[in-house]
Amino acid sequence: MRTKWTGEDIWLRKTFTLTEKDISNLYLIIYHDFEQETHVYLNGELIAEGPEHQFAYTLFRLENAAKAMLREGENVLAVHGRRPGRRQYIDVGLLDLTE
């Protein structure tokens, strides 16, 4: 999406539609800069946070509680990033690895 990040904080959100809720192998994929505070929300509920140091895309398998927040129809994935300093980058998404 290439949203410019000009301050210390950024909020991003993406609406997506599910035609069926049976997703058994769902992952959060994330990349962000070193020592960046990150919060990821699914339909308004926090599903991941952390200052984990990311220098490459990393997959985190979503637990059943997070998957239960999904609903058929419209869903919203939102991200808050905070990083004081001049270099900032974040990329987040959901990935279904069901065969």
The distance between the two most distant Cα atoms of the chain, rounded to a whole number of Å, is: 42
Give the domain ranges of the chain. 12-96
Helix (H) / strand (E) containing 26: strand 26-32
- Average pLDDT for 72-77: 94
Question: 78 versus 32: which is more confidently predicted?
Answer: 78
Q: What is the pTM of this model?
A: 0.81
pLDDT in tens, 14-27: 999 988 766 778 88
Question: With bands split at pLDDT 50, 70 and 90, how would you rate the model's confidence at 90?
Answer: confident
The pLDDT of residue 73 is 92
Instruction: Write down the mean pLDDT value for the chain.
Output: 81
What's the CATH architecture for 12-96? Sandwich (2.60)
